[in-house]
Homo-oligomer: A and B are copies of this chain.
């Protein structure tokens, strides 16, 4: 299955003239389709802003040549309607924008053979560029655990936690995907040229920005929403209080994705942002790859339930215990004394029986006295 060709060409044009994640364009393109949107833009003479942008930026764009040029570099342009279009990106349609960035991307420029729809169930590992060796080691270990379980690892190819996540997945023979803020033909950061080659070979390098575009601040903000949207869970390994990784975390929350955080020493600045996410309830605390996989597998299944004593059916009680239980009022509390009188049993024996019955969940001790627990009505 593949999207109509005129729609692809219209999206190439739009992709080259508007910023990634520009909410003015992504929303209308998703709703109207790019072909119709281009018509509207060309016809709408009440507002020239975007057309002016378009003309001053690029002059006329030849989308066929753009696609050919990309193809020569091993780069394809994946758009909604293509078989490999990742369903998760559609959630961006209804998520509230952040700093005017948001919406379903017009398309993704992709280098690498991995199909993007195989990212369903994948894991984002993000964090500080200035990670500690502790953070790097944990990120690599979590990524390796994901890789061993067949879970692709998505990150942003930056220094610090990002690269540790990619490398951990690669070392374990797993698949990994880098989502860039610049064109996928550009090695950024330049020190990661070889790493990006490895990532492309073991997965894919992906960007909303067209071939040749440079990384810019606003493009990182747009990129972060893709990392959250492409994955099922985002784990933040280290992030200082103003780290860009918190922007990705914010997107994970907006997209109802699972958000996880790895704690660290409270004396370590790169852990402070993570601790704040956990404190506020935005992120769950994880300490191991096993716990991360558990969260990926079934959201909420890892929540502990209150430990309770085993329920014992009433007929396994001794006759004496049943006598005492029968003397405990259903709704109002009674003193041990009055239960002893009602049961015709000595007070110390009654007290011992009540403690066993409490342990088994038959009776409760309220401030006003003993009464039946709810389950004892059965």
Q: Once bound together, how far apart are the Cα atoms of A138 and B358, in whole Å? A: 39
A115 at the A/B interface (Cβ < 8 Å)?
no
Check A291 against B262 for contact (C-beta < 8 Å): no
A5 at the A/B interface (Cβ < 8 Å)?
no
A93 at the A/B interface (Cβ < 8 Å)?
yes
Check A134 against B280 for contact (C-beta < 8 Å): no
A44 at the A/B interface (Cβ < 8 Å)?
yes
Name 5 extra pairs, CB < 8 A, besides A32-B347, A97-B359.
A31-B336, A94-B367, A134-B267, A263-B275, A264-B266
B residues less than 8 Å from A288 (CB atoms)? 266
A351 at the A/B interface (Cβ < 8 Å)?
yes
- CB within 8 Å for A351 and B266 given contacts A275-B285, A284-B279, A287-B272: no
Q: Once bound together, how far apart are the Cα atoms of A302 and B281, in whole Å? A: 11
Selecting from A20-28, A193-201, A226-234, the interface stretch reads A20-28
Check B287 against A275 for contact (C-beta < 8 Å): yes
- CB within 8 Å for A355 and B24 given contacts A94-B365, A287-B272, A347-B40: yes
CB distance from A71 to the nearest CB of B (A): 32
**Chain A residue total in the interface (Cβ 8 A):** 57
A349 at the A/B interface (Cβ < 8 Å)?
yes
B residues less than 8 Å from A352 (CB atoms)? 24
B residues less than 8 Å from A365 (CB atoms)? 27, 93-94, 96
| Residue among A47, A285, A352, A367 facing the most chain B CB atoms (10 A cut-off) | A285
Of B31, B279, B347, the residue contacting A285 (CB under 8 A) is B279
Could you pull out 30 A-B pairs where Cβ atoms are within 8 angstroms?
A24-B352, A27-B336, A27-B365, A28-B348, A32-B337, A32-B347, A40-B348, A41-B348, A44-B348, A46-B349, A47-B348, A47-B349, A94-B365, A97-B358, A97-B359, A138-B267, A262-B266, A263-B266, A263-B278, A264-B264, A264-B265, A266-B287, A266-B288, A272-B287, A275-B287, A278-B278, A279-B286, A279-B302, A279-B304, A282-B304
Of B28, B272, B337, the residue contacting A336 (CB under 8 A) is B28
B residues less than 8 Å from A267 (CB atoms)? 134, 137-138
A366 at the A/B interface (Cβ < 8 Å)?
yes
Contact with B along A165-201 (1 / 0, CB 8 A): 0000000000000000000000000000000000000
Q: Once bound together, how far apart are the Cα atoms of A189 and B285, in whole Å? A: 35
CB distance from A350 to the nearest CB of B (A): 10
A346 at the A/B interface (Cβ < 8 Å)?
yes
Check B263 against A285 for contact (C-beta < 8 Å): yes
Check B263 against A24 for contact (C-beta < 8 Å): no
Contact with B along A51-89 (1 / 0, CB 8 A): 000000000000000000000000000000000000000
Q: Once bound together, how far apart are the Cα atoms of A315 and B46, in whole Å? A: 25
Q: Once bound together, how far apart are the Cα atoms of A351 and B97, in whole Å? A: 14
Contact with B along A15-38 (1 / 0, CB 8 A): 000000001100110011000000
| Residue among A266, A280, A288 facing the most chain B CB atoms (10 A cut-off) | A266
Interface residues of A in 279-306 (CB under 8 A from B): 279-282, 284-288, 291, 302-304
Q: Once bound together, how far apart are the Cα atoms of A161 and B61, in whole Å? A: 67
Of B24, B271, B336, B355, the residue contacting A351 (CB under 8 A) is B24
Q: Once bound together, how far apart are the Cα atoms of A50 and B346, in whole Å? A: 14
Q: Once bound together, how far apart are the Cα atoms of A337 and B284, in whole Å? A: 40
Check A265 against B348 for contact (C-beta < 8 Å): no
Check A280 against B264 for contact (C-beta < 8 Å): no
